[in-house]
């Protein structure tokens, strides 16, 4: 089943993100390699593809996992969680309708 992982950043998270980004992207790349990643990316703090110093307010991932528990465990061990980037992480089942 698909699961939505929505994470909200702490204030001024950009320096923390930069430090943990390689490990975070590596985990996402593994999901992609396994054919389980549908979409992933950050939410810019301003209305711009590259927010520069404004940074980001969170991230969204939609991926396939065996269960809600497996998705939650995966989300809980994200390098951004370990680095203190996220203040809140929400994991929910997701039904893709379109496209």
Average model confidence (pLDDT) for the chain? 97
CA-based max dimension of the chain:
37
Predicted confidence (pLDDT) per residue in 71-82, tens digit: 999 999 999 999
Neighbours of 33 (CB within 10 A): 9
pLDDT band at residue 91 using 50, 70 and 90 as cut-offs? very high
Q: Phi/psi at 77 (nearest 5 deg)?
A: -105, 15
- Count Cα atoms within 13 angstroms, Cβ side, for 21: 12
């Amino acid at each position: 089943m698909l699961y939505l992982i929505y994470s909200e950043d702490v204030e001024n998270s950009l320096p923390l993100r930069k430090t943990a980004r390689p490990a975070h992207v590596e985990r996402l790349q593994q999901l992609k390699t396994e054919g389980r990643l549908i979409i992933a990316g950050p939410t810019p703090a301003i209305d711009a593809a590259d927010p520069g110093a404004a940074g980001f307010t969170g991230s969204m991932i939609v991926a396939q996992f065996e269960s809600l528990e497996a998705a939650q465990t995966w989300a809980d061990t994200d390098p951004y969680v370990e680095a203190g980037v996220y203040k809140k992480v929400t994991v929910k089942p997701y039904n893709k309708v379109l496209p």
